[in-house]
Amino acid sequence: MPKHAVYTIPVCVDLDGTLVNTNTLHETFLATLGRPNALSALPVWLRAGKARLKQELARRANLDPALLPYNESLLAYLHAQKQAGQRLILVTAADQSLAEKVSAHLGLFDEVIASDGRRNLRGAEKAKVLVERFGSRGFVYAGNDHTDLAVWREAASAILVNVSPAVARTTAALVPVDLQVERRQALGRALLEALRPYQWVKNCLVFVPIITANALMDMTAWLHAFVLFLAFCAVASSLYFLNDLTDLAADRQHPRKKARPFARGALPITTGLVFMPVLFLGGSGLAIASGAGWIVLLYALLSLAYSLWLKALPLVDVFVLAILYTLRVFAGGEVTGHRVSLWLLAFSSFFFFSLAIVKRVSELMLRQNKVQAIARRGYTQDDLTILQFMGVSASFVAALVLALYVQSPEIASRYVRPALLWFIVPSVLFWECHIWLATVRGQMHDDPIIYAARDWTSRLIGVSLVLILLLAATPL
């Protein structure tokens, strides 16, 4: 059948995994977790039936239908059908209240048939209701997985959305297939993207104590630091999963974060709920093996508190971010035996405090013309000037502490030509000024460390710093 041909029978469209690239039950579950007494009430609702559970969750979650990740290809097809006079019906196992919100938002559907707190319209139950309503072969059905096979057996024809090859073959043997919408992004690729491997560059801070101690030939220290690096990567990725899952609504309103796998519906929420504890336990095991178990645990607890509560508190959020950066340096010193001096801790604190403020300023720059709070943040556009002042000031204080650090007796005893280390100070200060200039020009990514890894000026300065350290440490 031609793609935009009009049927003489109604087109029934599933919601979860079909019209939207997510599962609304999982979305409402996540949105309800933070509500008082929600966890204790879940078993009670479930004992009353899955339809009751969906009803209670939908009532409390209050999802905004405008923020759901819709299947744009299917929507375009349905709009064309609607304009041609086709009757469209939303038929879903989601709760009636949620389905009606989606229908009202889209303005496409003539009728909504959904779960009502007593009857769960999934699989055979959905097929039964549609046959009673329209008769066998009296409707076209758009669905997405094996649970829809029972419906397709009774349908006149099928529209397949994001189905697996096995489901596509089975459906084609049951009923004519009028349209097949392309499958979503490969799960493995979306999972890798959700791990945020580009963020792992921040965990290279664990190697800093080896470099500052001029212990480049200490292979044991490098091995312990590498195990710690892997531990931080695994734990950090598990926390990224948690952050993405608890921040879905805010991410979908962000100009860049809306493209994250969970936000756009490329990765199922259940996948995140499975991999999150696996990554955390694996990372914790590596941390214990490296000898920094308590530090990584502290990092995880602070990160968790940040994701759930502290990110909404102005100033508290940037101080916590600075601590999280500094903890990586401190942990590297503990596991390698080259413990971090108070000088290096002081420099790291001011340096990373400045970078943390860069993140907030870059977010506010995106809303330059809007005096409003950032979603799940405590800042408004009016705070931009004072934040810039605090961040730039911290950069210069960090450079001052670094200048005092490189002339300390502790450093002088480790290098052949310690005077050369003075060139590090203007190099670092130049880089900090470069970062701030990029920020106020609106060129900064959300994380300055990631920006630096992709920026040729930052790379050039990084190479110069390495050369300075080598020249200072190597005899002629």
pLDDT at 443: 83
Assess whether pLDDT exceeds 70 at residue 374. Answer: no
pLDDT at 389: 94
pLDDT at 70: 95
| Residues 400, 261 share a domain | yes
Assess whether pLDDT exceeds 70 at residue 23. Answer: yes
Provide the residue range defining the domain that includes 209. 188-473
| Residues 409, 314 share a domain | yes
Q: 324 or 308, which is more confident?
A: 324
CATH number at residue 45: 3.40.50.1000
Assess whether pLDDT exceeds 50 at residue 1. Answer: no
Assess whether pLDDT exceeds 80 at residue 366. Answer: no
Average pLDDT for residues 409-437, to the nearest whole number? Answer: 88
Structural domain tally of the chain?
2
306-320, 387-401, 421-435: which has the minimum mean pLDDT? 306-320
* Residue after which a domain boundary falls, among 151, 184, 217: 184
Is residue 5 in a domain? no
What are the pLDDT digits (tens) for 244-273?
A: 998 888 889 887 788 899 999 989 999 999
Per residue, what are the HEC states of the chain?
CCCCCCCCCCEEECCECCCECCCHHHHHHHHHCCCCCHHHHHHHHHHCCHHHHHHHHHHHHCCCHHHCCECHHHHHHHHHHHHCCCCEEEEEEEEHHHHHHHHHHHCCCCEEEEECCCCCCCCHHHHHHHHHHHCCCCCEEEECCHHHHHHHCCCCEEEEECCCHHHHHHHHHHCCEEEEECCCCCHHHHHHHHHCHHHHHHHHHHHHHHHHCCCCCCHHHHHHHHHHHHHHHHHHHHHHHHHHHHCHHHHHCCCCHHHCHHHHCCCCHHHHHHHHHHHHHHHHHHHHHHCCHHHHHHHHHHHHHHHHCHHHCCCHHHHHHHHHHHHHHHHHHHHHCCCCCHHHHHHHHHHHHHHHHHHHHHHHHCCCCCCCCCCCCCCCHHHHHHHHHHHHHHHHHHHHHHHHHHCCHHHHCCCCCHHHHHHHHHHHHHHHHHHHHHHHCCCCCCCHHHHHHHCHHHHHHHHHHHHHHHHHHCCC
pLDDT at 216: 85
Q: Please provide the average confidence, as pLDDT, over all residues in the chain.
A: 89
What are the pLDDT digits (tens) for 179-237?
A: 998 766 678 899 999 999 988 988 999 999 998 888 888 999 999 999 999 999 999 99
| Residues 211, 133 share a domain | no
What are the pLDDT digits (tens) for 112-167?
A: 999 998 999 999 999 999 999 999 999 999 999 999 999 999 999 999 998 989 99
